[in-house]
Chains A and B, each alone.
Chain A
Amino acid sequence: MTLTNPHPMDHTRKVTFRVLDPGLLTTVQDLGRWGYQAFGVSPGGLMDEYAAILTNLLVQNPPDAALLEITLKGPTLRFEKAGWVALGGADCGATLDGKPVPNWSAFYGEAGSTLSLGFVREGCRAYIACRGGFDVPLVMGSRSTYLRAGLGGLQGRALREGDVLEGIGMLESPHKPGGIGNSNRDDGNSSLTVTLPLSLVPRYGSPILLRVLLGPQEDLFEPEGVEIFFSSSYRISHEADRMGYRLEGPKIKHKGKADIVSDALAKGAVQVPGHGMPIVMMADHQTTGGYPKIGTVILADQYLLAQGKPGDEVRFFPCTEEEARIAWQERRDRLALVRAYMDRCWREYA
């Protein structure tokens, strides 16, 4: 399996970064390692697929191009070789050589310049894409970092100071060095930057409202338990990571025992162990679990929780399968629209 890069490789123009400061938890991620759940390997991959794909589209990348996922505090990277990059997700107040660069935009970084991201201003996770995607080896079909197993990404771990990251080069880049990138920086004409239209920028914050489909084990909970789940306010605890988010709030009562014979899990599934507090499965969730699942957060809303951080308020709402499907279709349509828009932006620059 290879990266579905629409352009031939160009080994002469790979963007290259040196990590001066890795940030809190910065990992290489893509759409995940699908196909090994039967062996217990989590699909993993991006926490907020929506933000990451939008960021990839800003530099005309395919959705499965690998990018950097930032958690709470961003890294400082020096361009060893020049190239186009894009920022998206949570706004980290990024600067290029000390000058602010807007979030949800693509820009050209000259060799020697330094890109620096600070703490998230809202949300939890930010993304840095480079045109072509980051070049790390495919491990079991994916470039995503699975920290628990030390798998994929950059040696199976988060970025460290001194790491060097290369992009996959692109031939016939419409931008020669000294072209659009430079005029961009020199005359400060913002109309020349590739930016995401404001109306398409996702909003993050508290409270986080999540639509849920009941099941698969809603029948193992007391009716009052289900009612409490949908009518209460929960807080994200400090045990919230790429694997799952443990929430705190009113206890959800089971009918009988809180143990079941283990069965499969999915991203968004809400497990409720004996303590009665919901745990929402995230990207690196285990493939099977032994606690009943009261419901599953719909695909279109999962990114909202991925942008949640400890202390944020979470509320669950029941929803119908048709509503979930329509929301997902709308998401896909919106991404197709953004891709068409970005293609036009890049064509005009060429």
Chain B
Amino acid sequence: MKENQTVRFLRMGEACIVVEFGTTIDPEVNERVHRLARRLKEACSHSRVPPLSPTGDSFLHPETTTHGDVNLQGIRELVPTYRSLAVYFDPLVVTRTLLEERIAAFVQEMESPEPSEVLAEDRKLGQQGKTVVVPVCYGGEYGPDLEFVARHTGLSEAEVVRIHTSRTYRVYMLGFLPGFPYLGGMDERIATPRLETPRTRIPAGSVGIAGSQTGFYPLESPGGWRIIGRTPIKAFDPFSDTPFLLSPGDFVQFTYIPEGEYRKLSESGGRP
């Protein structure tokens, strides 16, 4: 584990480096994560792993394309999250020590005061995200934990809903499930810890709170979030030309809908 300014290099097995910029939900931290992801992706000049070669010596974890920065050979995939960038690599192509040094050089270059133009450009891009309206039917059978959230926060259920729909949330990352948006900037007044023991089945469209995070489940799944409502909107559709409703940097606006409206929207396919 090495310190590079405020960056920590963590180990997730022998084939992954986690470049950690922070431990909290912070737009600045998140911006640095995405900036490094973009810089590395450009330098690798690939966004995905090519097919495995039947004749090559790599059986399971092939080298990535050889065009692009030779110093970044061995990188297979980049996964930006709230506060860290996971760099998956082939440990038989490059050692962790070497790759960490090379990534550290990128971080240093990125964070030097000079490329302020790049920073400005990034900021501009970050502000161009589209706003997606997500209608939600709160409480009752669709939001079994709304009552708990109200009790935990000392608010009424209506107040929790009002606070939840009063802000526009930034999509910090997608993860956990295809198209699952992690939204930051929720009002601390409705923050509620996760379930101690995750549920084994949460229906698709469920809107939840976990600590001071909020988001919604694009698919049925196990999970530990407190469920306060459900949306008929599909966040992931593998058979659509655009499988993902949201991209990192977009904004989400939740709006309250009554049960009847929910049913009507569900029947019409769930895409706005």
Please report A residues at the B interface, Cβ cutoff 8 Å: 1-6, 31, 34-42, 49, 53, 62-64, 139-141, 148-151, 156, 213-217, 239, 243, 257, 259-266, 268-269, 273-275, 286-290, 293, 296-299, 321, 324-325, 328-329, 332, 335-336
Indicate whether A321 sits within 8 Å of B222 (C-beta atoms), given known contacts A40-B177, A259-B193, A262-B81: no
Report chain A residues within 8 Å CB of B167. Answer: none
Please encode chain B, from 117 to 158, with 1 for each CB lying within 8 Å of some chain A CB and 0 for all others.
Answer: 000000000000000000000000000000000000000000
Contact across chains for B11 and A286 when beta carbons are under 8 A apart: no
Indicate whether A288 sits within 8 Å of B176 (C-beta atoms), given known contacts A261-B24, A263-B18, A268-B13: yes
CB distance from A295 to the nearest CB of B (A): 8
CB distance from B109 to the nearest CB of A (A): 22
CB distance from A235 to the nearest CB of B (A): 17
CB-CB nearest in chain B for A285: B176
Contact across chains for A321 and B82 when beta carbons are under 8 A apart: no
Please report B residues at the A interface, Cβ cutoff 8 Å: 10-16, 18, 20, 23-25, 37, 47-55, 57-60, 76-84, 86, 88, 91-92, 96, 173-180, 182, 193-194, 196-198, 200, 210-211, 213, 218-222, 224, 236, 238, 243-244, 248
Q: Which single member of B76, B83, B238, B248 contacts A139 (CB below 8 Å)?
A: B238
**A266 to B87 alpha-carbon distance, docked (Å):** 11
The 5 closest A-B pairs by CB, nearest first: A35-B48, A288-B175, A264-B86, A62-B54, A296-B13
Contact across chains for A53 and B18 when beta carbons are under 8 A apart: no
CB-CB nearest in chain B for A323: B14
Report chain A residues within 8 Å CB of B182. Answer: 262, 288
Indicate whether A298 sits within 8 Å of B47 (C-beta atoms), given known contacts A41-B178, A263-B84: no
CB distance from B184 to the nearest CB of A (A): 9
Write 19 A-B pairs (CB below 8 A) sorted by A numbering: A37-B77, A39-B174, A39-B178, A40-B175, A149-B177, A213-B11, A213-B13, A243-B222, A257-B193, A261-B23, A261-B25, A262-B81, A264-B79, A269-B12, A273-B198, A274-B197, A288-B79, A288-B81, A296-B13
Contact across chains for B96 and A321 when beta carbons are under 8 A apart: yes
**A215 to B9 alpha-carbon distance, docked (Å):** 11
Contact across chains for B57 and A261 when beta carbons are under 8 A apart: no
Indicate whether A336 sits within 8 Å of B57 (C-beta atoms), given known contacts A35-B47, A38-B79, A40-B175: yes
Indicate whether A64 sits within 8 Å of B18 (C-beta atoms), given known contacts A288-B176, A332-B60, A335-B59: no
Contact across chains for A290 and B224 when beta carbons are under 8 A apart: yes
Report chain A residues within 8 Å CB of B14. Answer: 213, 298-299, 321, 324-325, 328
CB distance from A188 to the nearest CB of B (A): 33
Q: Which single member of A35, A62, A149, A262 contacts B175 (CB below 8 Å)?
A: A262
Count A-B contacts at CB 8 Å.
Answer: 204
**A2 to B50 alpha-carbon distance, docked (Å):** 10
Indicate whether A215 sits within 8 Å of B60 (C-beta atoms), given known contacts A62-B52, A139-B238, A290-B210: no
CB distance from B153 to the nearest CB of A (A): 17
**Could you say which of B48, B174, B178 has the most chain A C-beta atoms within 10 Å of its C-beta?**
B178
CB-CB nearest in chain B for A148: B219
Report chain B residues within 8 Å CB of A31. Answer: 52, 60
Report chain B residues within 8 Å CB of A149. Answer: 177-178, 219, 236, 238
Q: 19 new A-B pairs (CB below 8 Å) besides A140-B238, A262-B173, A268-B13?
A: A34-B76, A64-B54, A139-B238, A148-B219, A149-B236, A151-B238, A217-B10, A259-B211, A261-B213, A262-B82, A264-B79, A265-B12, A273-B224, A287-B177, A288-B79, A289-B176, A325-B92, A328-B91, A329-B92
Q: Which single member of B51, B83, B196, B248 contacts A275 (CB below 8 Å)?
A: B196
**A58 to B179 alpha-carbon distance, docked (Å):** 38
Indicate whether A288 sits within 8 Å of B48 (C-beta atoms), given known contacts A6-B55, A299-B14: no
**A257 to B53 alpha-carbon distance, docked (Å):** 45
CB-CB nearest in chain B for A31: B52
Indicate whether A38 sits within 8 Å of B80 (C-beta atoms), given known contacts A63-B60, A274-B196, A332-B60: yes
**A39 to B219 alpha-carbon distance, docked (Å):** 14
Contact across chains for B193 and A287 when beta carbons are under 8 A apart: no
Report chain B residues within 8 Å CB of A321. Answer: 11, 14, 96
CB-CB nearest in chain A for B86: A264
Contact across chains for A275 and B197 when beta carbons are under 8 A apart: yes
Report chain B residues within 8 Å CB of A287. Answer: 79, 175-177
Indicate whether A64 sits within 8 Å of B52 (C-beta atoms), given known contacts A216-B10, A296-B13: yes
CB-CB nearest in chain A for B14: A324
**A332 to B50 alpha-carbon distance, docked (Å):** 19
Q: Which single member of A34, A239, A269 contacts B48 (CB below 8 Å)?
A: A34
CB-CB nearest in chain B for A275: B197
CB-CB nearest in chain A for B80: A38
CB distance from A12 to the nearest CB of B (A): 23
CB distance from B120 to the nearest CB of A (A): 24
Report chain B residues within 8 Å CB of A262. Answer: 81-82, 173, 175-176, 182, 213
